[in-house]
Each structure stands twice: as structure tokens, then as C-alpha cells.
Structure 1
Amino acid sequence: MNLKLLKNFWQQVLDCRPSVSDWPIFLQGLFIAFMFGELFYDSLIAVLIISPVSLFWFVYQKRRQSERNRRIVGIQFRDAISSVLTCLKAGYSAENAFVEALHDMEMLYGKKSLICNALGKIKKGLKNNVPIEKLIYKMGKETGNPDIMDFAEVFAVAKKSGGNMTQIIGRTITVISQKMDVEKEIDVLISAKRMEARIMNLVPFFIIFYISLTSSVFFDPLYHNVFGIIFMTVCAGLYVTAYLMSERIVNINV
């Protein structure tokens, strides 16, 4: 079972596709390991033992980044299909409407934006005669956005049955907009609590660091002995558990 969990973890590391831009995340993880080793154990050996935590931190932060990208591409996709809707009303075919939407999104978000990258893949796929509905679904799968995948399925059914494309896309824009409004309301309601949670997560480190500077002998009974190591390990475990719980509470997905 442990080998299976380890295999899944390394698969997640590989799926994150580390790059040069990810070095700050690795450095953050190493800094966290250093803080835990020095403040909880006062030992460089403990820092070396805890240093693999940087890999867990990397995977966790990449997951959060992918969640942020999923939400960003959802917002941008709503604007893209609004452009598609305008083109369809002007008499464009569905394929040409998505190509035109790419130009609009380049002006709105820039050529390096997530939506332009996704629409660029759709444009290349259309040149290779790949059906537009398959390209849209692939876009949703690659970005991890279920709204795009749902839209692709409805779009495929409407295209085969000869449904009203403009009406379907208009309803899709309304549904996505309502969902985003709910997400924004939740963000506004818990933004203060999220900031409080971030501050409270740093408080234990500041307390230990402050006491270590002002009363260096205060923590001596907890360092370099079996009881102290066990006690501080339990404290570190409780802190990590509280951190994960706070992150789960203040990050609500709709």
C-alpha cells in the first residue's frame, strides 16, 4: 500500500511538469523545511530529513495553481464564446467563429493568455479537419474545466441534431456567468477569513522565533533529547493538520 502511495505521489510530481519557472516553489519548500528543522528541532540534520517536504509543497502548490488556471480559463472562455456568439449572429460558421474569437481574445487578454493558447490549438485542429466539438472537449479536458467539457457535449448534440447554436451558446454564457457570480460572492464573504487564516498560519513560527531570540534557554528541554523530539514532532504534526484544515475551509469550489 505504501509503495502504491509513493508511486502515485511521484506520478503527481511528473504530471506537474516542473520547469525553470517552478524554482521559486522549490525554494519555498526548502525554506519551510529549514524553518521546521531549526525552530522545532534546532538541528541541521532535522532540516536535511525534512527537506523532502519541498516535493510535497511543490505538488500542493501546483495543484493550487492549476485550480487558479482552471478558474481563469473559465472566465476567459465565457468571453470567448460571447465572441463566438457575436460571429454566429453575423453569419459565420461555428468553425470560423472560433477562429475569429481567437483574434478577439488576443486583443483582450494577450497572445500568451491561457484562452489564446487553447483557441490556438483549436485553430490548428481545424486545419487538420478535426471536428470542432472534439477540439472543444479536448480543450476542456486539458484545462480541467468541467464547464467547457459540458459545453462541448451540448454543442456536439446540437450540431448533430441541427439545434439553434446561438440560443444554446447564449444559455451557456448565462449559466457560466451565474456560476462565476456565486464564486465571486463566496470569495468576497471569506476573503477576510482567508487573510486571517494566512496570518494565523505564520503566528506559531513567529512565537517560537521570538522566544528563541529573547529567551534562548526556554526551549532547551525540548531540543536534542528523545522526549523533546517526540513532543515537537507531535506539535509539528498538529500544525500541519491545522494548516491543511484551514486551507480546506477557506478554499471553496462551486
Structure 2
Amino acid sequence: MNIPKTYREYKLNPKERKTYYICSGFACFFLGYLFYESLIMGLIFCALAIKGESVFSHYLAEKRRIELTEQFRDFLYSISASVSAGRQMPEALQEAKENLLLIYSNDAILCRELDYIVRGIFESKESAETLLKDFAERTELPDICQFVEVYCICKTTGGNFQRVIEKTVSIMLDKMNINREIRVLTVQKRLEANILTAIPLTVIAFLNVVSPGYLKVLYTTIEGRLLMTVALFGIGGAYAWGMKLTRIELH
């Protein structure tokens, strides 16, 4: 079973790496040629794809962590219902796995993790605390770490398991729902940033197609090339700033 050792990093598989370099190489070449009208500059810009691989991997890692957080939200609903019905954690985890399979596929991140945990409990006879701690350490997600920590403390101190878990889940669900609403609100702003970035690129490409001579001075003089360079860095900086303002990182 393919269980990630950490969710902080994402390693591209051969197919993903091939697709990335084809798409990013073409995009970088187009960008270099668009701003400098030079095949050599287009090829030089293709080298940016090498640097961009780490950025793309970080993006996929964050995307996976967000997916895991959303699935963990549904997991908490299932755990809360099972604990309220008098189930202990091993049985509650098994029920949560079955319930999540009704919502997600077998390849879903949390479904794979729960399958690994349930097998470890009922087949390898490992403790639920050990497996959940390992899961929390690999994800490094605050919501998962807090849930596992509360469960382990409750088991160690012998507190009212049912009441503590129900209260903890209720508080965590409220917090996760608020974070989810915030992420939804930032989607529109990221879309606006993408559109604003695409507009000047589209205008330059359009003018080069319908009236090549109109921008000729920008490609044949030192002042023109300098102006295009400034414009390129300005557009790139504005896009990066917009993405940073709307980014919500999961620590």
C-alpha cells in the first residue's frame, strides 16, 4: 500500500514529471518568445521549468493536504456518531473507513490511511494510539494532531472518552467549517489575479498577430527590450503578490 512518509513534500511520479515538463516547457518558451520575439530567448526561458518543478511539487503537496483536511472533516462526523453510539476507537475507525468509502473512492487519501490503520489494529494487533500518532506526525496538520493528542490524553488519564471526543469534535468541526468558508472566498480573488495576469499577455499576443509592425520597436531596440523586460517582471511580480495575498497555508 502506497502510504506517504510525509505530507509536507510531494514527489512527482514519472508520468506527472513528463506531463509537467511538456506543459511548462511550452509555456516558458511561449513567454520568452512573446516578450523578446527570439527563439534563443524562448529556449533560455525553457530552463525556468527546471526551477519551477519544486514550486509545482509544493503546490501539489498543499493541494493534497487541503484534500486530506476536507476528508478529515467528514471523518470527524463519522467518529462523532460512532462514539455517541458507544463504539470504542478501533470500531469507530473501522466504521469511519466504511462510511468514507461511500463518499470517496478507494484511492482517496484518507481512505488509504484508514485502511492502513484498521489493518494494523485488527490484523497486526497494533494499538490505535500508535497508528494514529504515526498518521498525525506524517501529516503535520494541526487539526489531525490535536484530535490524536486529545484521544491519547483521554486514554492515558482514563477520562470520559465519549464526552471528551464529542466536545473535541464539535469544536474542531466549527473551526474547520470557518476555514473552509475562508478558502472558498479566496478562490474568487485567485481567479481575478489569473485573469488580470492573462489580459496583458493576451493583448501582446493579439497585437503581434493582427498588427506585427505595431510592436516592432519593442523587439528591435534596446529601449524596447528593456521596457518589455520591465513589463515581464512587473506582470510576474503582481501575479506572485496576488497569489501570496490569497494563499492559506496549513501549518
Q: Quickly name the TM-score band, shorter chain normalised.
A: 0.7 to 0.9
Matched residue, 1:104: 99
TM-superposed CA distance for 1:205, in Å, is: 0.8
Per-residue deviation, residues 35-66 of structure 1 (Å, max 9, x unmatched)? 21111111121122111222343332332332
8 Å Cα contact 2:10/2:60 also seen in 1: no
Q: Is 1:212–2:204 an aligned residue pair?
A: no
Which residue among 147, 150, 153 is the counterpart of 2:146?
150
Matched residue, 1:172: 168
Does the residue aligned with 1:223 lie in a helix, a strand or coil? helix
TM-superposed CA distance for 1:192, in Å, is: 3.5
Q: Any unmatched runs of 5+ in structure 1? A: 1-14
Amino acid at match of 1:170: E
1:40-119 equivalence runs, <5 A = 40-119=35-114
8 Å Cα contact 2:12/2:57 also seen in 1: no
Q: Is 1:17–2:11 an aligned residue pair?
A: yes
1:21-36 equivalence runs, <5 A = 21-36=16-31
Q: Indicate the larger mover: 117-126 or 148-157.
A: 117-126
Amino acid at match of 2:76: I
The Cα RMSD (Å) is 2.4
Structure 1 residues 201 and 118: CA distance shift in structure 2, 3 A = same
Per-residue deviation, residues 164-183 of structure 1 (Å, max 9, x unmatched)? 22222222322232223222
Amino acid at match of 1:77: F
Q: Any unmatched runs of 5+ in structure 2? A: 1-8
Matched residue, 1:203: 199
2 CA distance for matches of 1:109 and 1:124? 19
2 CA distance for matches of 1:93 and 1:178? 23
Amino acid at match of 1:130: E
Amino acid at match of 1:199: I
Structure with more contact order per residue of length (Cα contacts < 8 Å, sep ≥ 6): 2
TM-score of the pair, normalised by structure 2 = 0.83
Matched residue, 1:124: 119
Structure 1 residues 191 and 75: CA distance shift in structure 2, 3 A = closer
Structure 1 residues 175 and 193: CA distance shift in structure 2, 3 A = same
8 Å Cα contact 2:83/2:166 also seen in 1: no
Counting aligned pairs with the same residue, the percent is 28
Does the residue aligned with 2:212 lie in a helix, a strand or coil? coil
Amino acid at match of 1:153: E
State the number of aligned residues: 240
8 Å Cα contact 1:140/1:147 also seen in 2: no
Matched residue, 2:156: 160
TM-superposed CA distance for 1:147, in Å, is: 0.8
Matched residue, 2:228: 232
8 Å Cα contact 1:77/1:115 also seen in 2: yes
Structure 1 residues 187 and 90: CA distance shift in structure 2, 3 A = closer
TM-superposed CA distance for 1:120, in Å, is: 1.6
TM-superposed CA distance for 1:116, in Å, is: 0.4
